C-alpha cells in the first residue's frame, strides 16, 4: 500500500476502541496465563517499558514497519524479534517519551520526524516482569536507520501488506522455562519468526488497522 493512502486511513484509529486482551489472546503462548497468574503479586511492581510500532514510506513510497532483531545475550529476550524501545528512565516525562528516546537510540530515528498516532494496550511480560506500553507512530519521510551495535543484531523492514496478510500467521515450537517445547502462535515476517509479547502486540495493531484500511 502506498504510504499516502495509508496516511489517510491510519489517523482514523485515533477514534477506535482498543481490542486489548481479545487481540492479545489470539497470539498468546498457551502457558502465558498460568505464568502471569504465578507472577500476579510481583507484577504489581513491574518495571515499565515503552516501545514503538513505526510506519513509514520506503524510497518507492510503499508503507513499511520497522522491527529489530535483538543480539544474542544471557536473557529471556535473547535473539528475538521485537519493537524498538526499552526501559523507562526517571528523566523520561512519560512512557511515550521513553518509546521515542529508545527508538532513536536503537535504530537512529530522530524524534523530529516521529508522530505518535495512538497508545495501544499495555502488555505484561511475566518472564522479565515488564509492563510494556506500545505506541503506533508514523514518519512522513524515509528514515535512515542506524542500529545500536551493542543491542541490535539487525533492523527488519516489513512491508505493510506482508504484516496484514493472515497467511503469515503460523504455529511454531519454542522452548520454555519448564524445559519442554510447546506450540505457540507466531507471525513469519521477512524470514523471521515473531512470537510471544511482540506477536501479541502486533496482533492488536493488525486488528485495529484492519478496521480502517
**Contact (CB, 8 A) for 65 and 52:** no
Domains and CATH numbers, the chain: 3-209 (3.90.79.10)
Q: Provide the pLDDT for residue 29.
A: 86
**Contact (CB, 8 A) for 159 and 72:** no
Q: Provide the pLDDT for residue 20.
A: 94
Q: Write down the H helix ranges in 31-154.
A: 32-38, 40-43, 95-107
**Contact (CB, 8 A) for 81 and 122:** no
CA distances for 86 relative to 2, 22, 24, 122, 158, angstroms: 30, 25, 20, 14, 20
Q: Please state whether beta strands 85-87 and 47-57 pair in parallel, antiparallel, or not at all (unpaired).
A: antiparallel
**Residue 79 — left, alpha, or beta (φ > 0 → left; ψ -120 to 50 → alpha)?**
left
Q: Provide the pLDDT for residue 41.
A: 64
Q: Provide the pLDDT for residue 177.
A: 62
**Contact (CB, 8 A) for 52 and 134:** yes
What is the pTM assigned to this prediction?
0.93
**What is the full per-residue pLDDT of the chain (213 aa) written as tens digits?**
999 999 999 999 999 999 999 999 999 988 777 766 666 666 678 899 999 999 999 999 999 999 999 987 655 546 789 999 999 999 999 999 999 999 999 999 999 999 999 999 999 988 888 999 999 999 999 999 999 999 999 999 999 999 999 999 999 998 766 667 889 999 999 999 999 999 999 999 999 999 999
Amino acid at each position: 500500500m502506498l504510504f499516502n493512502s495509508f496516511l489517510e486511513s491510519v489517523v482514523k484509529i485515533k477514534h477506535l476502541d482498543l481490542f486489548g486482551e481479545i487481540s492479545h489472546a489470539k497470539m498468546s503462548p498457551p502457558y502465558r496465563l498460568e505464568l502471569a497468574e504465578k507472577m500476579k503479586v510481583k507484577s504489581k511492581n513491574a518495571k515499565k517499558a515503552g516501545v514503538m510500532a513505526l510506519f513509514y514510506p520506503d524510497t518507492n513510497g510503499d508503507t513499511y514497519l520497522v522491527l529489530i532483531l535483538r543480539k544474542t545475550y544471557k536473557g529471556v529476550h535473547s535473539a528475538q524479534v521485537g519493537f524498538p524501545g526499552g526501559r523507562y528512565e526517571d528523566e523520561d516525562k512519560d512512557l511515550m517519551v521513553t518509546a521515542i528516546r529508545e527508538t532513536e537510540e536503537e535504530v537512529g530515528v530522530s524524534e523530529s520526524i516521529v508522530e505518535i498516532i495512538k497508545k495501544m494496550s499495555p502488555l505484561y511480560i511475566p518472564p522479565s516482569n515488564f509492563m510494556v506500553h506500545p505506541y503506533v507512530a508514523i514518519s512522513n519521510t524515509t528514515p535512515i536507520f542506524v542500529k545500536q551495535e551493542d543491542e541490535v543484531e539487525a533492523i527488519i523492514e516489513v512491508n505493510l501488506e506482508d504484516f496484514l496478510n493472515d497467511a503469515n500467521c503460523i504455529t511454531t515450537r519454542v522452548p520454555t522455562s519448564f524445559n519442554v517445547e510447546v506450540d505457540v502462535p507466531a507471525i513469519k515476517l521477512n524470514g523471521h519468526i515473531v512470537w510471544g509479547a511482540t506477536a501479541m502486540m502486533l496482533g492488536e495493531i493488525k486488528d485495529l488497522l484492519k478496521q480502517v484500511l
